[in-house]
Structure 1
Amino acid sequence: MQLLNGRASGVSISQTSSAPGAPTKIQIRGAGSINSSNKALVVVDGLPGVDPTSISPDDIKSIEILKDASSAAIYGTRAANGVVLITTKSGKKGDMLVNFSAGYGIQSVAKKIDVLDGRQYMETLNAIRSDAGQPLIFTQRQIDSIGTGTNWQNEVFNQAAPVQNYQLSISGGGDKHDYYAGLNYYNQDGLVQHSNFKKLNFRTNFNFNAKEFLRFKLNMNFTRGIQNSILVTDGVNEGAGPINAAIQFDPTLPVGLDAAGKYYANSFIALDNPLALLNGISNETLSNNLYGTFTTEIEPVKGLVGTIRLGGALSSSMGSFYRDRSTLNGLASRGAGSKSGTDNAQWLAEFLLKYDKKWGRNHSLSLLAGTTFEEFLYQGLGASSIRFLSDVTGADLLQSGDNDQGDNVSSFKDRNRLNGIIGRINYGYKDRYLLTASFRNDGTSRFSDAQKFAFFPSGALAWRVSKEPFFNSLLPMVTDFKWRISYGELGNQGIGNYQTLQTLVAGGAAIFGNSILQGVVPARIPNRNLRWETTQEFNTGIDFSLWNNRISGSVDYYIRNTRDQLFSKPLPSVVGFTSIMINAGAVRNTGWDIQLNSVNIDKAAFSWSSSFNMSFLKNEVTSLPPSIPQIITGSTGGFISNYQIVAVGSPMQSFYGYQADGIFRSADEVALSSQPTAKPGHIRFRDQNKDGKIDATDRVILGDPFPDFTAGLNNRFVYKRFSLDLFFQLVSGIQTLDANVLESFYPTNEYRNRIARYYEDRWTPQNPDAAYPSGVNPSAYGGAFSINSFTILDASFLRFKTANLSYSVPLSSSKTFRAIQVYLAADNIVTITNYEGFDPDASNTGSEAISKVNYNSYPLNRTIRMGINLQF
C-alpha cells in the first residue's frame, strides 16, 4: 500500500514501521470509531478482507479507492471506513507474453537520533551532579581518555542492507480464454541487524468462456513469508529492545565481551547491552496465506447476468521466540522461550443478479440484487517456558524448560458470520443526469437476535453540466464538468465476538484446603441490546477537465457522522469488570479532498505532466454518554500513562497534558509563580484556571494524531526514451508522543544516555535563557507532569519521497525481446521536519490504532534501487 502513500486525496497511509514485513496503517477520511475498528476494507478481485501485504505489486493492474458511503455501500458491513479495490492482472488474446523483472537496492538509515557522545555524556552527568551539589561521577582523567566513546546506534544498525525483488509472469489467451500467472520472490534485510523478511508469492488468474452465455473466472494467490524481527515491545528497561537500548545505553562502555565472556554492562543503568538484545534474542514468524475466488457468470438473455462467486482465504502462522542467558532477563530466567500458532479461515458465498438495459439513445438502466454470506473462523495456541537446560535448542524444545506453576499454555477458538441482502439501481438519461440508489440489509452473529440485522440505504445524483446545450457557448474551454451529491449509511460491527453473550474464561488457580484447582470465571458483563454502529456520510463534489484534458481534477466536500458508537464504558472497580460495551457517543469527520492533474508540456520529443492532491480534515467527538464527560486513557512502556483524552469538541485520542511556559530563569520568577516548590531551571507550567496552583485541572489538549492538511505532488518528465518521476509528500498539523524524548527529559536512571539537543542548551546559572530545563532533579517537574508540550511533538514533514529514472532500450532489430527497460530509483531521499525521532510518519501503536506514539520505533530506510524489466 506504500504505492498510494501521499498519492490519493483523503487517504492517510503511514508506515507503522520500516521494519521488514511491517504492516501499513490505512485510514480513509479520518477515523470514526472510538473503540471499534477504523481499518479500511481491502477487496482483491471481489474478495473482501485481504491482507494487502500478501500481494505482489507487480501483479496489480489497478487500485481504486471508494471514499464516500454511497460508492462503498455495495461492500456493506466492513466498508464504513472506506474501501480499497485492487484488481490484478489478466491475460489478453494473442501470443504468450513473458515478463521478467529484477530489482536490487541498498537501504541505509535515513536519520539517526543525535545522542550525547562519550565525552559529552560524562561532562553532562558531572555538570548535573555539580549543579545539584552532589559528588561528581567521572574524573577529568577519565573524561580526557574516553574520546567519543561508543555510538550504539552504529553498532546496532546495518550500514547497508540489501533488498531484492524478482518477478516472472506469463500471460496470453485465445478466443475463449485468457490466463495470467506470476511468481514473485522478495528478500529484504532490515536496517537493524538480525531483522529480515523473505516472501514467495504465486498468483494465477484464468478466465474461460465456455459458451456464449456461460463464463468462468478463477483467481488464486499463495504467499509464504518468513520474518525475523528484533525485540520491539511496550516494555521498559531490559524488556524494551535493542533500539531503545542503543539510544539510552552507556556510551563509555566498549563493544565486545568482558573478561568473563559477557557483554559489557553498567550495573547502575538497569538496561541491557544493545548487542546482547540483538544476538541473544531470536524472534521468527513463518506465515502462509492462500486465498482466491471462483466466479460463474450466466447470461440466459442479453443484459441479464447471474453471478455466483465463491471465495475463501486460509492463513496460518507460527511464531518462535527465545531469550538466552546472554541477556539480563534471559540470565535471570535461565532462558525463556515460547511458541505461538494461529489458523484462520474466511469463506465467502455471493449470489448476484444484474440487469442492464438501454432504450434508444437517451435512457440506460442497471438493476442489481443479491445476497452475500461470510464466515470467519479463528483458532490459535501458545506455550512458553523458562529455566531451560540449555540455550542450544532455543524454543524448539519447550519441554526442556521448567515452570513452577506447571505448563504455561493457552488456546482459543471462535467464529462469527455475516449475511447481507443487496439492492441497487442506476439510471442515466442522455449520460447527463445520473441516479444511483442502493440498500443493504446486513446481519452479524456478533449481536443478539433482536439486533442482528440493520438496514442501510444510500443514494447519489450526478449532473453532467457540460452536456447541456447552453454550456459550451458559455465556457468553451471546459471539456467536461460534472456535479455530484450523495448520501449513504453503513454499519460497523468491528468489535470482538460474543460481547452480547455471557461466556466463561479460565480464571486461574484457586486453593481449596491443600489442593490447587483450576476454575472458570465470567468473561464480561454482556449487553444484549448492543447494536450496529452507523456511519452517515454526505458528499458533494465536482469532476472537471479543461482544454481537452490538459487540466483535469476533482473537488469533494464531505461530512461523515458516526453515531451509536460501539463504546467501551468504564465501570467502577467494585463491579468486578473494567468495562461494558454499549452504544453511545458520536464522532464527526469533515473535510475537503482535491485532486488536480495537468499536462504542462506535450511535444513530440518531450512531455511534462503533473498530479497534485491535497486534503483537509477535521475530526471531532460530538457526543459521549451523559455520565462520562471525558475519557482519559493511554499506556506506553509501562511508565507513561493517561496521555490521551476523548472529550466532546475535540479530536479522538487527543494528547492531554500540561502546557509549558518556558523555563524558570531565576528564583524571583519562581516566587511569583504557581509553583512555589520549583527551582530555577525547572519547567514552568501554565496555570490554566488561574487558581494559583498546578494540578490535574490545568491539563489541556496539546495536539492530536490527525493531520490538518496533507498533500502530494508527482511530476513526470519524458524525453524520447527517458522518463523521470519525482514525488513529494507533505503532512502538516499532526502531533506525536515520543517516549525517547520523554526519557531524555525524565531519565529512568541518571546513567541513561539522552538526546543531545536537550542538554546542549540546558538551563544553568551561566545560561539562564536556555531553551530546555536544567536536568537537575527532573522528577520535581516530571512524574504526573511529564506529558507536556516538550514531550508532545509536532510530526509535520515535507518529504522528497521518490525519484525514478527509466530508459526504454530501442529494439528495432531484436527477435527475442519485445521490450527492455532499465531504471534507477531512490526512496525517502530527504525529509524536512522539526521532529527529533527517526521518522515522523511512523507510529508503533499498530496498523489499526488511532493514537500516534513513538517508542522503540524502527528507523526510516533510505533506499537506492536499480533494476531491469524484460518482455519476451
Structure 2
Amino acid sequence: MKLSVLVLLLALMQVSAASVAQKISLKKSNVPLTEALSAISAQSGYSVLYDEDLLRNAEKVSLNLKNATLQEALNLCFGRQPFTYTINKRSILITPKPVSVTVKAPAAPVQLSGKVTDEKGGPIPGATVKLKTGNVSTSTDSNGEYKITIPDEQGAILVFSYIGFETKEIEVNGQLTIDVSLKEALSNLDEVVVVGYGAQKKATITGSISTVKSDELTQAPVANVTNALAGRLPGLISQQSSGQPGYDAASLSIRGFGGALVIIDGVESNINNIDANQIESISILKDAAAAIYGARAGNGVILITTKRGVLTKPVFTLTSSYTLQGITSMIKPVSAGQYAEMSREAWLQSGQPEANAPFTTEQIAKYYAGNDPDYPNTNWYDVLIRDWAPQTQNNLSVRGGSDNIRYYGFIGYTNQQSMWKNNGGNYNRYNLQSNIDAKISDDLSLQLDLSSVVESRNFPNRPQNAGGNTVWQDFWNTLPIYPAELPDPTKISFANGGGTGGAHVTSNSEIFGYDKLGSQNLKGTLNLNYKIPVVEGLSAKLLLNYLQDYSNNKNFNKPVNFYTYDNQSQMYTLAGSLGSLAALAITNSRNQVLTGQGSIAYDRTFNDHHIQGLALYELINYSSDYSIAGRSNFLTPAIDQLFAGNAAYQTANGAAAETGRKSYVGRINYAYKGKYLLEATLRADASAKFPKDKQWGYFPGVSVGWRLSEEQFMSSTRGFMDDLKIRASFGKSGNDGVGNFQYLSGYQYGGSYLIGNNPQQGLSSTGLANPNLTWETIKIYNAGFDASFWDRKLYGTFDVFYRERSGIPASRVNSLPSTFGSGLPPENLNSLNNRGFDLKLGTAGKKGEFSWDVSANISWARAKWMHYEEPEYEDPDQRRLSKLSGRWTDVAFGYVTDGLFTSMEEIAALGFNQDGQANISLRPGDIKYVDVNKDGILNYKDQVEIGKGTVPQWMGGFNLMLKYADFDMGALLQGAFGYYTYITLQHGLTPPVQSYDLRWTEANNDANALVPRLGGASTNGLPSEYYYKEAGYIRLKSFSIGYTLPAQLLQKISFKQLRVFFAGTNLLTFDKLKKYGADPEAPTGNLGFYYPQQRTLSFGLNASF
C-alpha cells in the first residue's frame, strides 16, 4: 500500500476522534507486531494503516494490558521499534521514527491553566482536560477554569472533552495558559437515554425507544405537557378532545394500545400536573424495553426525567409568559330571526297546519329587525363567550453545585381563565420541586427529591365535559328570542333552557353555584447508591418513595328563579325556578402509594466484553379512602358551610381500600466489541386479585442489536456513516385490570328493605366466583434499525411491530334461567392483535452561525379481534355486521346515501320501500338511501362499511428547529389520518348557523345540501355516510420565534442570558370539516356539546442570571 494512498484515505475519513480514550484490555506474549496491532484495532475500532515493507523487520512484542488507553497500548508496541504513529480521526498511521540527534535532560513538571467555554463564550463546568499520553487529567470548575500539571511540555498535547461537544486537541508548545472553545457535537451516539430502572448510551440500545428533550417541549407555553407531545414522537397517538382549563389534557396512546404507564423519576406518577419546564427528557418504551415493568406495561411506558443540578455556580432561570386563548372552531347559534324562520319551516314541512305555526311571517320580520323590545334578537354566543381568555405562566428555577453536592430547585405558577365571560371558572396550579445529589464519600452517594403540586379548579356547578346534561346542552337550549337581561338586574331572564333556565344561568357560578376541586400532590424520593469496593463494577441501590394525593371537592347548588317581563305593563312574571333551597356536598379523598426498591447492579468490561446486570426487588402498597357529607335546605345561599344546612336533610358516606404489588426484576446487558448487543429481562409480579396459585405472572423480554457500522468490512463507509444498527426484540407483559377478589364468593351492601315497619340494610351476592381467572397476557414482537450519516446530516429510525393480547376477561355468552339470580363470572376468553410501524427521518447540522434540526415522523397502527366472546349469528347479514371475531376493531357500518331527493317524481321512481310505509313520509329534501342488496326494502341488511373508527390509524409530525446567530425559530406540524367522526347539525332547541346556511329548502333544492329538510322523515336520522365524515387533518400545532440578547450587552446587567419570544399553538388547521364548523379533534357525535380546543398566542421571556 502506497503512502500517498494512505494519506488520501485519511483525508476522506470524517469520523470524530472522540473515543481516543477507548479502554484496551489485552494479553499477548511474543507475537508479531502486526498481530498486536490487529487486536488493538478490533477493540478500539481504529483502522491501522502502514506500508508492509516498513514492518517486515519489526520486533515481536508482549503485552499485558488492562483498561489501558489507546495511546498507552500503542506506546508499548512501538517503544523499541524504529517506527512511530500518528492518530488522525479514527485511523492510526505508522511512519518511520525520526532520528534523534540530541538527548535532553528530563524536563521539570509544568503547570498549565486556562478556561473552557462554548462557542458563545459561556463557561463549561465539568469538562475533562487530559494529557493525551499518560493518565494525567483534571476537570474544569464552575467557571470553566482548570489547572493541570504535566511532566513535560515537549510534544505534549492536551485533550479537551465534554458530553455534547466535540473533543479538541491542543499542542502545548510552550504555552502556560491555554483557553479553549468547544463546538457543540452533532453526533448523539454518546447521548444517555433513560430506560427502565436505569440509563444506557443511545449507541447500545436494542429496544424501540423514542426520546424528546426539554427544548422541544417548551417551544410554546402549554398548561398541560401532553399537548406538547402530539406529533413529536413516532408511535405516540395523541388526541386533545377538550380545551377546558385544568381538563385539557390530550389522551396518549403508544401505538394505539391504550393508556400507557407514566414513570417520573423512577416512580409511577401523573403526567397531567407536571410543568414542561421541569422536564429534562421524555422517553417512550414501545416494545420489549417496556417488559421490565411487567404487569403495568402492557400498553407501553412513558419515562419522564426531571432536571437535576450541575457543576456550576448557582444559575437562576426565570420564565414568564402571557397567553391569550381563543377557540379554534365552534359552531354558533342562529339569530332570533333565523330561529323563528326555521321553526316555522320545520312545522310546515312536517305537515302541520299553518294556523298553528309557532311564528307568523310578520313576527319573523320583527325578530330579524331587532328593534322591537317585544321581539329581542339575542346573540347568546357574544353574550356568554369571550373571544380571548388569558393564561399566565411564571416559574423560577435554580441550578448549580460543586464536586460534592448538586441541586435543582423549581417553583412554578399557572393560571388559566375560562372562555365564559361571567364567573365561568378558572384553573390554578403551583409546582414545587427540589432535587439534590450529594456525594457522601467516594463510594456512597445520595439523591433526595421532593416535589409538590397544588391545584384548584373553580367552575360553575354544571358539567362542561362532552355530552348531554351539561352546560353545552343548556347553551343550545337557550333561545335567541329571549332577552339576555331584564330592566331589573337582580332578576334573571327566562330563556327557556329546556328546564335549566339557560346557559346564562348554568355558566355563572355566582348565580347557579359552584364546583370547587382542590388537590395537593406530595412526593418524596430517597435514593442511596453505594459502590461496593471489594468487587469492581458492583453497586447497590435503595429507593424509598412516598406519594400522596389529597383532594377536596365542594359542590354548592344555589336556587334560581327566572322571570319574563312585559314591556307594556312593565310587570315581571315568575316563569320558572331551579331548586327552592341551597344544597352543599363536600367530598374528601386521599390516595397513598409507598414504593420500595432494593437493587444490585454490575457494570464491568473484560477485554472485548462489556457486561451489565441488574437484580431488583420492588414492593408497592396502594391505599385510598374517601368520605362525603352533605346537607340541603339551606335557609340562605349566602352561607356555603355545612352547619347552615338542615340537619334533617343530611347524608354521609365513606369507604377505604388497600392493595399492593410485589415484584422481582432481573436484567442482563452484554456487548461484544461495542457492536454485538444483547439485552434480556425477566420480571415476576404478584397480584392479590387472583387466587394464590395464579397470583404470580412472569414476563420475560429479550432484544438483540448489531452495529454494522462498527464492522471491519464496513470501514469504507466510515467517511460518511456515523452509525448503522439493526435490532429485534420480543417482550411479554401482563394485565391484572379486573375487579378485586373475583375468585371468591361474597356479599356486598345492597339497598334498604322495609321489614315490618323498620328499614333494614340489605346484602346482595357479588356473583359467581371464578377461581381460574388469571393474568391477561401481552406479547410484542419488534424489528427495526437506526442510522446516521454525515454527522447527522441525515438520520433515521424505523420499527415494525406485532402485538398479541390474549386472556382478556369476558363472560361467556350462555343462556341462563331468569331464576338463576346471577350472571356468569368473567373468564380469560378474548384475544386481540395489533400491528403497525413507526418511521422517523431527519437532518441536523451547523454551518457558521446557522444550525438546524429538522425531522419528520409517521406511524401507523391497527388492531383486530382474534376472538371475541359473542353469540353465534345464524343470519348471514347479522354475522357480517355484528360478528367481531376476526374483524378490525375500527370498522364502522351504516347506510349508503345518494344525496337528497329533489322532487316527488324522484321519490315515486325510487323502486324500493325506504321508510317502511311505502315511502309516504318522504318529501324532497329527505336523504335518499341505496338499496344495496336490491331486495326492495331498506333495512339493516343494506348496511355496509362506511368508514373507519374514531381513533387515527395514521399519526405524523414535522418538527423544525432553526437557529441563526441570536435568533431562533421552531415549528411543529401535526397530522392525523385514517379516522372518522359523526357530524350532525341538528342541535337542541336552537340550531347552529351552519344548519341554517347549509340546509335544504325549496329555494335551495340541492341534492348535495349538507343538512336535510327541516321536519323531515324519520329515516333522515339513520346512521349513514351522510353524517359519518373523514376527519383527517394537518395542524400547525406550535410555532415560536425568539431573540437572545447579545452576551456583551447582558454582562452590563449581570445576566447570563435573556431571550424574548412569541409563540402560538393550534394556529392553523387544514381539514375537510371547516364547512361544518367542526374541529377535527372534537369528540365524535358531540359537535357543539363540548368545551372547544383552544388556539393560543403567547408572549414571554427566558432570563438566566
What TM-score, normalized by structure 2, do the two folds share? 0.71
Task: Give the alignment partner of residue 785 of structure 2, picking from 542, 549, 553.
Answer: 542
Q: Quote the Cα distance in structure 2 between the aligned partners of 1:268 and 1:195.
A: 21
Q: Deviations over 1:338-394 (max 9, x none)?
A: 22221101111111111111112x211111112111111121123445443332234
Task: Give the alignment partner of residue 673 of structure 1, picking from 908, 912, 921.
Answer: 912
Equivalent residues of 1:342, 1:381 under 8 A apart: yes
| Cα pair distance change 1:312/1:685, threshold 3 Å | farther
Look up the match of 1:139: 360
Task: Give the alignment partner of residue 593 of structure 2, picking from 324, 346, 366.
Answer: 346
Give the AA of the match of 1:663.
Answer: L
Look up the match of 1:35: none
Q: Quote the Cα distance in structure 2 between the aligned partners of 1:569 and 1:854.
A: 37
Asked if 1:299 is matched to 2:557, the reply is: no
Q: Quote the Cα distance in structure 2 between the aligned partners of 1:853 and 1:438.
A: 45
| Cα pair distance change 1:522/1:229, threshold 3 Å | farther
Q: Which has the higher contact order (CA 8 A, sep 6+)?
A: 1
User: Within 5 A, what are the aligned runs for 1:108-147?
Assistant: 108-134=326-352, 135=354, 136-147=357-368
| Cα pair distance change 1:852/1:448, threshold 3 Å | farther
User: Within 5 A, what are the aligned runs for 1:495-644?
Assistant: 495-567=738-810, 574=818, 576=821, 580-599=825-844, 602-625=846-869, 627=871
Equivalent residues of 1:124, 1:759 under 8 A apart: no
| Cα pair distance change 1:74/1:272, threshold 3 Å | same
Aligned length: 829
Structure 1 residue 542 displacement after superposition: 0.7
User: Within 5 A, what are the aligned runs for 1:152-171?
Assistant: 152-171=380-399
| Cα pair distance change 1:395/1:594, threshold 3 Å | farther
Structure 1 residue 29 displacement after superposition: 3.5
Q: Deviations over 1:846-871 (max 9, x none)?
A: xxxxx886673111211111111111
- Identity percentage of aligned residues: 26
Task: Give the alignment partner of residue 106 of structure 1, picking from 324, 327, 330.
Answer: 324
Give the AA of the match of 1:721.
Answer: D
Q: Deviations over 1:765-806 (max 9, x none)?
A: 861524245444446226xx5443344343322111211111
Equivalent residues of 1:553, 1:596 under 8 A apart: yes
Equivalent residues of 2:890, 2:948 under 8 A apart: no
Q: Quote the Cα distance in structure 1 between the aligned partners of 2:882 and 2:521.
A: 38
User: Within 5 A, what are the aligned runs for 1:67-86?
Assistant: 67-68=286-287, 70-86=288-304
Structure 1 residue 517 displacement after superposition: 1.8
Q: Quote the Cα distance in structure 1 between the aligned partners of 2:981 and 2:655.
A: 35
Equivalent residues of 2:630, 2:642 under 8 A apart: no
SS of the aligned residue for 1:565 comes to strand
Q: Quote the Cα distance in structure 2 between the aligned partners of 1:20 and 1:368.
A: 43
User: Within 5 A, what are the aligned runs for 1:722-871?
Assistant: 722-737=967-982, 741=984, 744-745=985-986, 751-757=989-995, 760-764=998-1002, 767=1005, 769-772=1007-1010, 774-778=1012-1016, 780-781=1018-1019, 785-812=1021-1048, 813-814=1051-1052, 816-835=1054-1073, 836=1076, 839-843=1079-1083, 856-871=1089-1104
Task: Give the alignment partner of residue 502 of structure 2, picking from 262, 265, 273.
Answer: 273
Asked if 1:324 is matched to 2:558, the reply is: yes
Equivalent residues of 1:645, 1:656 under 8 A apart: no
Look up the match of 1:648: 885
| Cα pair distance change 1:587/1:154, threshold 3 Å | farther
Look up the match of 2:100: none
SS of the aligned residue for 1:370 comes to strand
Task: Give the alignment partner of residue 242 of structure 2, picking from 7, 12, 17.
Answer: 17
Q: Deviations over 1:617-663 (max 9, x none)?
A: 11222211264779xxxxxxxxxxxxx97823444365554444432
Asked if 1:246 is matched to 2:491, the reply is: no
| Cα pair distance change 1:868/1:766, threshold 3 Å | closer
Look up the match of 1:635: none
SS of the aligned residue for 1:218 comes to strand
| Cα pair distance change 1:113/1:853, threshold 3 Å | closer
Equivalent residues of 1:287, 1:317 under 8 A apart: yes
Give the AA of the match of 2:473.
Answer: N
Q: Deviations over 1:225-262 (max 9, x none)?
A: 1012342267987x321x33324431222212476954
Q: Deviations over 1:247-304 (max 9, x none)?
A: 4431222212476954333559556311111121311100000113111112113211
Look up the match of 2:606: 359
SS of the aligned residue for 2:492 comes to coil
Structure 1 residue 411 displacement after superposition: 2.1
Structure 1 residue 503 displacement after superposition: 4.2
Look up the match of 1:174: 402
Q: Quote the Cα distance in structure 2 between the aligned partners of 1:281 and 1:538.
A: 53
SS of the aligned residue for 2:1047 comes to coil
Look up the match of 2:84: none
Give the AA of the match of 2:586.
Answer: K
Q: Quote the Cα distance in structure 1 between the aligned partners of 2:378 and 2:254.
A: 45
| Cα pair distance change 1:232/1:30, threshold 3 Å | farther
SS of the aligned residue for 1:781 comes to helix
User: Within 5 A, what are the aligned runs for 1:178-189?
Assistant: 178-189=406-417
Q: Deviations over 1:508-552 (max 9, x none)?
A: 221112222222222344332211111110100110011221011
Equivalent residues of 2:1078, 2:1087 under 8 A apart: no
Equivalent residues of 1:597, 1:611 under 8 A apart: yes
Look up the match of 1:414: 657
Equivalent residues of 2:308, 2:435 under 8 A apart: yes
Q: Quote the Cα distance in structure 2 between the aligned partners of 1:837 and 1:412.
A: 45
Q: Deviations over 1:127-180 (max 9, x none)?
A: 222223432322333222323732322222223211111111122212211111
Equivalent residues of 2:836, 2:861 under 8 A apart: yes
Look up the match of 2:493: 264
Give the AA of the match of 2:317.
Answer: N
**Greater shift in the superposed pair: 174-183 or 329-338:** 329-338
Q: Deviations over 1:22-65 (max 9, x none)?
A: 15344444444xxxxx31111111112x0112322111111111
User: Within 5 A, what are the aligned runs for 1:423-438?
Assistant: 423-438=666-681
| Cα pair distance change 1:703/1:392, threshold 3 Å | farther
Structure 1 residue 320 displacement after superposition: 1.5
**Greater shift in the superposed pair: 794-803 or 224-233:** 224-233
SS of the aligned residue for 1:724 comes to strand
Equivalent residues of 2:998, 2:1011 under 8 A apart: no
Q: Quote the Cα distance in structure 2 between the aligned partners of 1:567 and 1:199.
A: 41
Equivalent residues of 2:727, 2:784 under 8 A apart: yes
Look up the match of 1:846: none
Task: Give the alignment partner of residue 372 of structure 1, picking from 618, 625, 633.
Answer: 618
Give the AA of the match of 1:376.
Answer: Y
SS of the aligned residue for 2:744 comes to coil
Equivalent residues of 1:660, 1:685 under 8 A apart: yes
Look up the match of 1:463: 706
| Cα pair distance change 1:770/1:594, threshold 3 Å | closer
Equivalent residues of 1:488, 1:537 under 8 A apart: yes
Structure 1 residue 570 displacement after superposition: 7.0
**Gap regions ≥5 residues in structure 2:** 1-225, 371-376, 563-575, 875-880
SS of the aligned residue for 2:889 comes to coil
Structure 1 residue 838 displacement after superposition: 5.1
| Cα pair distance change 1:395/1:721, threshold 3 Å | same
**Gap regions ≥5 residues in structure 1:** 33-37, 631-643, 844-850
What TM-score, normalized by structure 1, do the two folds share? 0.89
| Cα pair distance change 1:442/1:269, threshold 3 Å | closer
Q: Quote the Cα distance in structure 2 between the aligned partners of 1:61 and 1:240.
A: 39
Give the AA of the match of 1:652.
Answer: T
Q: Quote the Cα distance in structure 2 between the aligned partners of 1:397 and 1:696.
A: 58
| Cα pair distance change 1:669/1:263, threshold 3 Å | farther
User: Within 5 A, what are the aligned runs for 1:469-488?
Assistant: 469-473=712-716, 477-488=720-731
**Greater shift in the superposed pair: 677-686 or 83-92:** 677-686
